[in-house]
Amino acid sequence: MSIPFHTRLTIHEQTDAGVLEPAALAFADRVHHDDLDALLHVNNVRYFVWFERLRVRFMQDYAIGTIGDPQSPRIVVRSAEVRYLQEMVRDEVYIITTRCTAMRRTSLTLHQAIWSGGTKRATLDCVMVLLTQDGKNRAPIPEEIKARLRQTDGAVDQSP
């Protein structure tokens, strides 16, 4: 099966490629030479870069933190935990998935995973916080975005 790179993958394309936990947002790419470290496997920092690219796309898709929009909140990473499960090497094709698993009044919890050859290779769980433009206060997640996160990602609203 040929997987299109840098293009949103359907649930069907993800499952055909061996992703056991498909998500509404997933993209594929290939490990490049400059992703490798001296031991010729993917450098740990590259996983963070890959995850961040899809987190940015996720926020764009939901119109959260739109650059240049003075009404849009700022977004910061409050915490991030990566788990490296199995090494990756040059030329491996991989798929990154991203989904919102939970939300509160001003924050989102995202779960991201990297899959290759039907095996989960790494995960990242992070909490994203929305702030006012001046960064002094937290900004609430709009109700229409919360509704979409529930519907599209199955996110659980944990607001008090």
pLDDT digits (tens, 9 = 90+) for 80-120: 999 999 999 999 999 999 999 999 999 999 999 999 999 99
Which CATH number goes with the domain that contains 117?
3.10.129.10
Is 70's pLDDT higher than 90? no
Instruction: Count the domains in the chain.
Output: 1
Residues of the domain holding 122: 11-157
Q: What is the mean pLDDT of the chain?
A: 93
> What region does 135 belong to: left with phi over 0, alpha with psi -120 to 50, or beta?
left
Least confident span in 14-28, 62-76, 135-149: 62-76
Please report whether residue 140 resides in a domain: yes
Report in angstroms the alpha-carbon separations of 13 from 20, 53, 58, 155: 11, 20, 19, 22
